[in-house]
Amino acid sequence: MGAAVIAVGALALTGCGTDTGGSTGAGNDGEPVAGGTLTWGVPAEPSAGGLDPMVASAIAAEVIDSIAYDTLLTRENDGTVNPALATDWEQPDELTWVFQLRDDVTFADGSPFDASDVVYSFETRKDGGTNATYLVNMESVEATGDHEVTFRFSQPDGTFLDAVSARQTFFIVSEEGYGAASEEERQTQTFGTGAFQVTEWSQGVSVTLDKNEKYWGEAPNLDSIVFELYPDESTLLAAVQQGSVQAASFIDGSLAGQAESAGFTLGDPPFRQNLAIYINPEAGPLADVNVRRAFSLALDRQALVDTAMLGNAGISFVPPAGDPGAPDATDLPYYTRDIDEAKKLLEDAGQPNPEITLSYMGDVAQSHHPVYEMMQQQLAEAGITLKLEATPLSEIAPIFTTGESWTDLVAIPGSPRASAAFYLQPVLLEGGVYNHWDGNPDADKARELLTQAMAAATPEEYNDLIDQLAEETAEQVLEVVPAAVPVYFEVWDANKLKGYESDAFYSRYKLDSAWLSE
């Protein structure tokens, strides 16, 4: 299924219980005020692919593109699907989706928005763009009217509505503007219908977006947004405390907490980044399902959340706790700690004291390292020796880029995906970079459920199958998730930035209507 995308905090590539994330802020902020420039400090800037919405995979790019570009539909924190560039949509049969489009939209470059732009955007995406795997079943996309688009699929696709309503997946570009632009222009400018457009990118310094005077929605209040780069988050915290920025995004939750202590509002962070640990069951102790179950039972996930992550995480499985519709992981098999049962399973497996190796990225995402160290201590209580191998990212990267193998376990934090099925695609399906389960009967039922979910005819059928898939994946322990964390922690000065609140998709769409106090 192609190379997996990761979202390691320090790279900025693209919860007990369950926290779906969402909002803290807004409230009664008074009447909006027009004008002003918002300065937002960020720890990373767009990397490979720049700002090109068809090829960029960095989350730093996605959060900017989601301001400059629109999607056909949008999704709220609770999973509710709303109109955006499409006003209505229907599924006349299992293989067809029809969208009616707005007829009052103009791109920032002055070209009118119509069905041909949607066709161009999806065909370009399917032709090898980022997230092309989301369209593997799309047979055709056709303009069946000036403002009507029809999608036809080779088989039912249970993921399509999720994908097309994700705020950072299928951006619609101007065929006239984007289509005629050079590769450099696509990576440094934007060609969207969003409320703000990128007008300057000073690499290593800042990205500036100005108000789109042709925006089809309610006119934005802010004149400009400047995302200033602070690779050192301690320096970013100082900028927050000194008032040099009105808002900021942190990877390190403890620094965001310090900003909150200084009087900034801390958004309710969605736990959408699983600290995923992938299993190689082809040899060694983890080939035995009872050893895997004992491993899972020996983990005290609440302690990992509270102590190792200082509360800046949540109990999670697949999909992550912050995803709309994610299962309550605390109800899953082998998820509640039971040391006695773990020891019994190890005895049954004939391996009372197994040694298991866990490789993790030793030179990035340092805030995650205490999780692995505490896991080592917890597992030892059950008789499991966890050998930790801090490995440079450069040596781990071939695993998620080309599918290179590993020993026992490898920890690779995952990025948010548009639909729940896509979290397990690279683990269970042929060609998946984390798939070492081919021919292993332990994964047969989960693979069948995943295949059925992806071909579900209705959203209701899809959601039911995803719940069954989570149950089966936990039953067989096909993946280990010690916790989920936010991709970013957002803070802002609520005395200055009004009308803003965070969202579960890191899209910052509330900036469309936010304002600065006088």
Instruction: List, for residues 444-460, the tens digit of each pLDDT value.
Output: 999 999 999 999 988 88
Do both 333 and 437 map to the same domain? Answer: yes
Question: Of the given ranges (295-304, 318-327, 428-437, 463-472), which has the lowest mean pLDDT?
Answer: 318-327
H helices of 338-443, in order, are 339-348, 369-380, 393-402, 425-428
Instruction: List, for residues 192-247, the tens digit of each pLDDT value.
Output: 999 999 999 999 999 999 999 999 999 999 999 999 999 999 999 999 999 999 99
Answer yes or no: is pLDDT of 177 > 90: yes
The region that residue 218 occupies, defined by phi over 0 for left and psi between -120 and 50 for alpha, beta otherwise, is: beta
- Model confidence, pTM: 0.83
Percentage above 90 pLDDT, the chain:
71
Q: Residue 207 is part of which domain span? A: 194-269+487-516
Residue 504: name the closest of 19, 41, 165 by CA.
19
Do both 225 and 141 map to the same domain? Answer: no
Do both 296 and 442 map to the same domain? Answer: yes
Residue 168: name the closest of 44, 70, 269 by CA.
70
Please, are residues 365 and 486 in contact by the beta-carbon 8 Å criterion? Answer: no
Q: How far apart are CA 112 and CA 349, in angstroms?
A: 66
The pLDDT of residue 11:
37
Do both 406 and 299 map to the same domain? Answer: yes
The pLDDT of residue 79:
80
Tokens of 161: 């509505």
198 phi and psi angles, rounded to 5 deg:
-70, 125
Do both 441 and 333 map to the same domain? Answer: yes
Do both 165 and 259 map to the same domain? Answer: no
DSSP annotation of 349 reads T
Please, are residues 351 and 291 in contact by the beta-carbon 8 Å criterion? Answer: yes
Do both 118 and 74 map to the same domain? Answer: yes
Tokens of 476: 């067989």
CATH number at 223 reads 3.40.190.10
**Of 178, 205, 237, which residue is a domain's last?**
178
As a whole number, the mean pLDDT across the chain is: 90
Please, are residues 46 and 64 in contact by the beta-carbon 8 Å criterion? Answer: yes
Please, are residues 99 and 106 in contact by the beta-carbon 8 Å criterion? Answer: no
Residue 487: name the closest of 10, 2, 160 by CA.
10
Do both 303 and 440 map to the same domain? Answer: yes
Please, are residues 113 and 102 in contact by the beta-carbon 8 Å criterion? Answer: yes
Please, are residues 461 and 421 in contact by the beta-carbon 8 Å criterion? Answer: no
Do both 232 and 322 map to the same domain? Answer: no
Do both 496 and 472 map to the same domain? Answer: no
12 domain-assigned: no
Instruction: List, for residues 60-106, the tens digit of each pLDDT value.
Output: 888 899 999 999 999 887 788 999 999 999 999 999 999 999 999 99
CATH number at 89 reads 3.90.76.10
Residue 126: enclosing H or E segment and its boundaries? helix 115-126
How many domains, the chain?
3
Instruction: Please give the single-letter amino acid code of residue 483.
Output: A
Answer yes or no: is pLDDT of 57 > 50: yes
Neighbouring residues of 79: CB distance < 8 A, sequence distance ≥ 6: 324, 325
Instruction: List, for residues 351-379, the tens digit of each pLDDT value.
Output: 999 999 999 998 877 889 999 999 999 99
Neighbouring residues of 150: CB distance < 8 A, sequence distance ≥ 6: 96, 97, 98, 99, 141, 142, 144
The pLDDT of residue 26:
53
Do both 166 and 304 map to the same domain? Answer: no
Please, are residues 3 and 401 in contact by the beta-carbon 8 Å criterion? Answer: yes
